[in-house]
Chain A
Amino acid sequence: MIVPSVRREWIWGLRSFLLLLLAGAYLALERGGNAYLQRLAILFLINLMLVVSLNLFTGFTGVFSLGHIGFMALGAYASAILTLPVNLKAVNLPDLPAPLASITLPFFPALILGGLIAAIVALLIGIPVLRLSGHFVAVATLGFLVITRVVLINAETFTRGTRTFAGVPPFTTMGWAALWALLNVYVAWRLKHSPLGLRLLAARDDPWGAKSVGVSIGRMRLIAFGISAFFTGIAGGLWAHFLTAFSPNAFYFSRTFEIIVMMIVGGMGSVTGSILGTLLVMASTEALRNLEPGFAIGSLTVGPLYGLSQIGLAVLLMLLMTFRRQGLLGDRELRLEAIAERLERWLERRKTALEAPRVRKADP
């Protein structure tokens, strides 16, 4: 398609505006020194990675994975164990086998290794499980989540079991989180518009049709699963080095649920939708969470309301499922081209609306 030059100018304008806005927001948060907002921003970027990665698999293939938080756990524990200083290892993980006990890796290689471990495990379980479809994959991946948890609790030599794994170096800065999130979004976007992505979407919408033109669905799904697990593992590592202390409870059903709601709100299969969904859901749960300790309306005080934010999430999901199943964007994307086109049309309409009365006046 030939883009008219006016529109191209619009697109460039919008693009630079967006970039400036993002850079401005980033700098304001980084330099502004508001610890609460910084914390939220880092959590947003990590959640964004989790949602985009889940969407990269579930949205593009239509196959529901309930096990992704298991990959996050693998990434978190792997990267935490690899970076823990040797003297802390002697105290916290005294029975760690020899090579692990005496090494401490820097942040970046540890993160990458965490992501790779998640991806390898994903490929190993994906080879058998992804041949199933529908319900069965959901149940099987849920089984994987439970297995991961049982292993985390029992492999005390590596994880301290149910006790808190503490002392993880606080490496995750806003810069690291932003960099990885950008890379993740970029990869998902490119994947969606690559031949592989088109095959995945085709197989999702019409499996038999896709198969009949030679798409090998199982292999495509497996590749998407592996990439998705890699970034989920990285997100887990970033999260571990952000919180610095955690236990297996962090990687279970409630987080799985949260990530799924974020994905559904934005739209399954939409990368830009994931950004919107994460933003919206985090904003609303955060608002509700701040109400949980109790609040006052005039003279009326409302007591502690623990669980309110989760109730909000659940109601939101039910309403969406009933009234707007495709979420905000479905599997479409917010495109600058489309926005520019709308802006242009709107301006044209205004122009004609402004010119119209003048024409009428000259008429008699």
Chain B
Amino acid sequence: MQALGSPEFWIQQLINALGLGSQYALMAVGLAMVFGVMRLINFAHGTVMMASAYIGLLLLQQGVPFPFVALGAIAGAAALGVLMERIAYRPVRGAPDVVLLLNSFAVAVLLENVAILLFSPRSRPFPMPEVLTRVFHPGGNLFLPSIHLWALGGALLALGGLGLFVTRTRLGLAMRAAAENPTAAQLLGIEIGKVTVLAFAIGSAMAGLAVLFWTAHVGTINPGMGFEPVLKAFVACVIGGFGTIPGAVLGGYLLGALEIALQGLLPSGVVGYRDALVYGILILILLVRPGGVLGYLEAERV
């Protein structure tokens, strides 16, 4: 542990914040894309992460080499996202927001309990290859866990690719148009259904990537593991501004920084309350700046 306030301390905090923020950004982006095209807060996003982790574990147990395990987990997440949209959300398209929200709760509970049924509620170790768990000591008292580097690199690549996709390709532009004004987009010949499926596929794949880093951190997986990440992704989306991709990314990094700062600066007796503070800030942002830091969306008030 570095001395509080020393330059080393700040560098260490920055490393931790970037690592954690990358994971949150990857998780939040999927939520934001789905919210954009469907006005749905997809609560089942977290259980997709859980399911993808179990797919990874099953592949690993079959002796599949790790790079393919990772690819399989990401592809599995994407497939599950598409399936979820088909079964649970498409039939109720156009229904009031609450109907979609409740359906996403139902999907989350369903998937979690199917996992309990198949794999038991116990936590299982997820052996990660050494490249992901190694910790570098670049000098002084600094710790540089390689997982932070992987998370940061993965997030930059994936989010950069996503950025190019939504600004440079017809399909990506169609997705943004659909998010901005579904009716106008439809009038211009954009197939909302197709765009929605794509948003679910890409968003879930990002979640699949994020959960690899999350699991490498935690070391074990269990059927309830999706709950905390999806709440954090909510908070990230709210901080950045709900429903926009840049907002979600920014919110993810801000949330990562906030959590690391609270962890490092709060007196030890109060550190347990960190998450209460984080959600308190969530409520505060909803009240004073419901459009988030970037401020696109105006919350309807009564």
Q: Give chain A's interface residues, CB within 8 Å of chain B.
A: 64, 125, 128-129, 131-136, 138-140, 142-144, 146-147, 150-151, 153-154, 203, 207, 211, 217-218, 253-254, 257, 260, 264, 305-308, 310-311, 313-315, 317-318, 321-322, 325
Contacts and interface: CB of A to CB of B under 8 A. Distances in A.
B7 interface: no
A143 B282 contact: yes
Nearest to B270: A154
Given A260-B105, A318-B110, A325-B99, A143 B283 contact: yes
Interface stretch (B9-17, B115-123, B164-172, B185-193): B115-123
Nearest to B103: A321
Nearest to B120: A306
B107 A318 contact: yes
B27 to A, nearest CB: 16
Interface stretch (B73-81, B155-163, B257-265, B272-280): B272-280
A322 B286 CA distance: 30
Contacts of A306: 116-117, 120-121
B239 to A, nearest CB: 12
A139 B117 contact: no
A322 B105 contact: no
B286 A136 contact: yes
Interface stretch (B51-59, B61-69, B89-97, B173-181): B89-97
B301 A132 contact: yes
27 contacts: A129-B283, A129-B287, A134-B300, A135-B41, A136-B286, A139-B234, A140-B283, A142-B234, A143-B283, A147-B275, A150-B272, A150-B276, A150-B279, A154-B272, A154-B276, A257-B105, A257-B109, A305-B117, A307-B114, A307-B121, A308-B113, A311-B117, A314-B109, A317-B105, A318-B107, A318-B110, A322-B103
Binding site of B, secondary structure by majority: helix, strand, loop or mixed? Answer: helix
A65 to B, nearest CB: 11
A307 B279 contact: no
Binding site of A, secondary structure by majority: helix, strand, loop or mixed? Answer: helix
B106 interface: yes
B302 A140 contact: no
A153 B274 CA distance: 12
A211 B106 CA distance: 34
B216 interface: no
B301 A314 contact: no
A153 B102 CA distance: 27
Contacts of B99: 321, 325
